[in-house]
Amino acid sequence: MAKKINLPKTGLSKNDVFNEMKTVKEKDVKWKDGKVWCLVFSAGDELSDITKEAYNMFFSENGLNPNAFPSLKKFENEVVAMTANLLGGDENVTGTMTSGGTESILMAVKTAREHYLSKHPKSKKMEMIIPKTAHPAFDKAGHYFGIKVIHCDLKDDYRVDLDKMEELINGNTILLVGSAPSYPHGVIDPIEKIAKLAKEHDILCHVDACVGGMILPFAKKLDYNIPNFDFTVDGVTSMSVDLHKYGYAAKGASVVLYKNKDLRRKQFFVYTEWLGGIYASPSMGGTRPGGAIAAAWAVMNYLGEDGYLKIVKTVMETSEKLKKGINKIDGINIVSTPEASVIAIGSEELDVFVIGDEMSQMGWYMDRQQDPPSLHMTIMHAHHKVADKFLEDLKEAVQKAKKFTIGKVADKVKVSLVKGAVKVLPENVVSKLTSKSSKLLSGKGEIIPKRSAAMYGMMGSLPNKGDLNEMILDFMDSLYDA
């Protein structure tokens, strides 16, 4: 049962409000010191102060109606144009801003659906083919828009298998997807080949550059070896790029881009019969925060190409240092060959989740991944200061994991972690899940251990994925209660 909470009868003082917020904030992950490898992108206080100032200046304005706010119209159109330009777009490439990568992807899929329906008006069976590594936002889009999602196998290097992708194409295919790079392992799918395949079969091709779109173009300029992944590739018809990641905009800022205006038009929604007047909206939301649009414009103009290059140089150098350092540690390795700054740590012989637990004990915060079990790291600007300390601690964690596995863990957790069946869950979530799932698991007489490594193992051993789905839904019910 949800706890009942009343609106305070009389309002609190400003002091009381802020004091309480400060108190609860203390328990949040501390990302400023560089110990967190996900969730918050920052390139220092000076830059975020500028972003905040711009956000505040347009705090109240609403991007739903650009006619009322020519300022926001200008900002949005310029942000989209600058982004298109960075990603090799010609003068036809266009798009809109959205609230984030998920919305950009939802819109690209919706556009692909409308495009397909314009050619096959009676079609009821639509499919899109995405690599197994593609972001779940595509699965969400399939779920929302009634499109079947086909998950294509990968090659040994974790890039999508082109032959398999080709075999999966049929008359119902509306969209092929590649990531630049993929979130789980940071590798860029063979975009040129995917786009060629799409073009040959006359279907659309989306490149998900949500995490990569604001770093890869600069890394390329800095002479890092980045394969072609953007609109310069013939056959690419849409892209998603998050500005609230490596663009350092305020959260709630992403761009979805299309090859031309005809495609973008299929994203728009218009309803002309409403008693409230003619309603037109470019994307999922209605009201759109002016602050997020203005802040994106401000940060892009403030940094300029030089500014981004400088930040990207630091991030790429830190990434190279970490990749080398990690691969040097006996027992673990970087999964595949990530081109940029998103990486995963795996192991052939050790339980990486035990290593993850040891790292957590030392205050590091990394996401856990499955298939193969790995620890995820998005390398950000703040990490250049902590890279050496990280490598030192990692070495120690690996040593501990070596002792750990040989001894007790193997029999205690009688599960195959390699067959892990669990999606990324932050570790604090997992520990809460433990209590929820004890009912489910206790039937088998298992003892639920405290550490997350064992928990992941157990979830992986659930015979029925439906159980896991229900468990997570139960957990979400509890998460969204006061």
Ligand X SMILES: *Cc1c(COP(=O)(O)O)cnc(C)c1O
Contact with ligand X (CB under 6 A) among 34, 63, 95, 101: 101
Q: How far is the CB of 260 from ligand X (least distance, A)?
A: 23
CB 180 within 8 A of CB 231: no
CB 332 within 8 A of CB 181: no
Is 211 or 455 the residue whose CB approaches ligand X more closely? Answer: 211
Bridge partners of 374, per DSSP, are 369
- Return the structure tokens found at 235: 């056959």
- Return the structure tokens found at 420: 């892990």
Q: How far is the CB of 180 from ligand X (least distance, A)?
A: 8
| 100 is a contact residue toward ligand X (CB under 6 A) | yes
Count of residues that interact with ligand X, criterion CB under 6 A: 12
Rounded CA gap, 171 and 77, in Å? 36
Q: Which residues contact 10 (CB under 8 A, 6 or more apart)?
A: none
| 375 is a contact residue toward ligand X (CB under 6 A) | no
Is 100 or 457 the residue whose CB approaches ligand X more closely? Answer: 100
Is 230 or 446 the residue whose CB approaches ligand X more closely? Answer: 230
Pick the piece of the chain touching ligand X (CB under 6 A) from 33-41, 159-167, 205-213, 444-452: 205-213
Residue 406 is classified by DSSP as I
| 102 is a contact residue toward ligand X (CB under 6 A) | yes
Q: Is 248 helix (H, G, I), strand (E, B) or coil?
A: coil
Contact with ligand X (CB under 6 A) among 161, 208, 358, 367: 208
Pick the piece of the chain touching ligand X (CB under 6 A) from 34-42, 61-69, 97-105, 168-176: 97-105
Q: What share of the chain is helix, strand, coil (3-state, %, to 5)?
A: 45, 15, 40
Is 254 or 374 the residue whose CB approaches ligand X more closely? Answer: 254
Residue 409 is classified by DSSP as I
| 63 is a contact residue toward ligand X (CB under 6 A) | no
Pick the piece of the chain touching ligand X (CB under 6 A) from 28-36, 106-114, 196-204, 206-214: 206-214
Written as one string, the DSSP assignment of 280-326 is EESSS-SS-BHHHHHHHHHHHHHHHHHHHHHHHHHHHHHHHHHHHHH
Contact with ligand X (CB under 6 A) among 51, 94, 96, 179: 179
CA angle 417, 422, 423 (to 5 degrees): 130
Q: How far is the CB of 4 from ligand X (least distance, A)?
A: 32
Cα distances from 166 to residues 132, 160, 202, in angstroms, run 15, 11, 13
| 358 is a contact residue toward ligand X (CB under 6 A) | no
Q: How far is the CB of 133 from ligand X (least distance, A)?
A: 9
Contact with ligand X (CB under 6 A) among 158, 183, 218, 364: 183
Burial of 132 (0-12, 13-18, 19+ CB in 10 A): middle
Pinpoint the alpha helices (H) of 136-213.
137-145, 162-168, 191-200
Burial of 124 (0-12, 13-18, 19+ CB in 10 A): exposed
Pick the piece of the chain touching ligand X (CB under 6 A) from 113-121, 204-212, 259-267, 312-320: 204-212
Is 240 or 461 the residue whose CB approaches ligand X more closely? Answer: 240
Is 370 or 434 the residue whose CB approaches ligand X more closely? Answer: 370
Rounded CA gap, 104 and 111, in Å? 11
Is 212 or 373 the residue whose CB approaches ligand X more closely? Answer: 212
| 343 is a contact residue toward ligand X (CB under 6 A) | no
Pick the piece of the chain touching ligand X (CB under 6 A) from 71-79, 100-108, 166-174, 369-377: 100-108
Is 137 or 394 the residue whose CB approaches ligand X more closely? Answer: 137
One character per residue 120-159, x = contact with ligand X (rule: CB under 6 A): ---------------x-x----------------------
Is 214 or 459 the residue whose CB approaches ligand X more closely? Answer: 214
Pick the piece of the chain touching ligand X (CB under 6 A) from 49-57, 96-104, 285-293, 445-453: 96-104
CB 225 within 8 A of CB 188: no
Q: Tokens 């989740």 sit at which residue?
A: 353
Is 100 or 247 the residue whose CB approaches ligand X more closely? Answer: 100
Sheet holding 238-242, edge to edge: 94-98, 254-258, 238-242, 204-208, 173-179, 127-131, 148-152
Residue of minimal CB distance from ligand X?
A: 101
How many Å separate Cα 448 from the centre of its chain? 30
| 161 is a contact residue toward ligand X (CB under 6 A) | no
One character per residue 219-258, x = contact with ligand X (rule: CB under 6 A): -----------------------x-----------x----
Q: Which residues contact 182 (CB under 8 A, 6 or more apart)?
A: 131, 133, 134, 158, 188, 189, 342
Is 63 or 460 the residue whose CB approaches ligand X more closely? Answer: 63
Please report, as ranges, the residues that interact with ligand X according to CB under 6 A. 100-102, 135, 137, 179, 183, 208, 210-211, 242, 254
